[in-house]
Amino acid sequence: MTSGKRRTTGPNEAERLLIEAAQQNRKRFADVYDEYFEIVYAYIARRVRRRGEVEDVTAEVFRKALENLPRFKWTGAPFASWLLRIASNVIADRAKRAAREANID
């Protein structure tokens, strides 16, 4: 029995639909980028000092996200947490690389 009320999508459902659309059509990744850019940029800016590097890391995060999006599995956790994990890994990788280069010099 239905109550006649139309079912609305909640934040998790809307997020899931956005990600699934991008998985099916890479052009829709622009919507993902628009939705999450500020969160990712702010996260990186709090950890990386130079603006140019913040921009480079942000670009790398979204490149990696687009590259790996077909393998992303929806678990109900916020998609931003996946992006921030990528950002954390990129920052750590850059720090390790910089340390190795400093040791070589």
Predicted local distance difference test score (pLDDT) of residue 1: 46
Predicted local distance difference test score (pLDDT) of residue 10: 64
**Whole-number CA gyration radius for the chain:** 17
Ordered mean pLDDT values, 10 residues apiece, the chain (105 residues): 50 90 96 98 96 97 97 92 97 90 72
Query: What values do phi and psi take at 53, rounded to 5?
Result: -70, -40
Query: What values do phi and psi take at 71, rounded to 5?
Result: -90, -10
pTM: predicted TM-score of the whole model, two decimal places: 0.84
Looking at this protein, which amino acid is placed at residue 71? Answer: R
Predicted local distance difference test score (pLDDT) of residue 26: 95
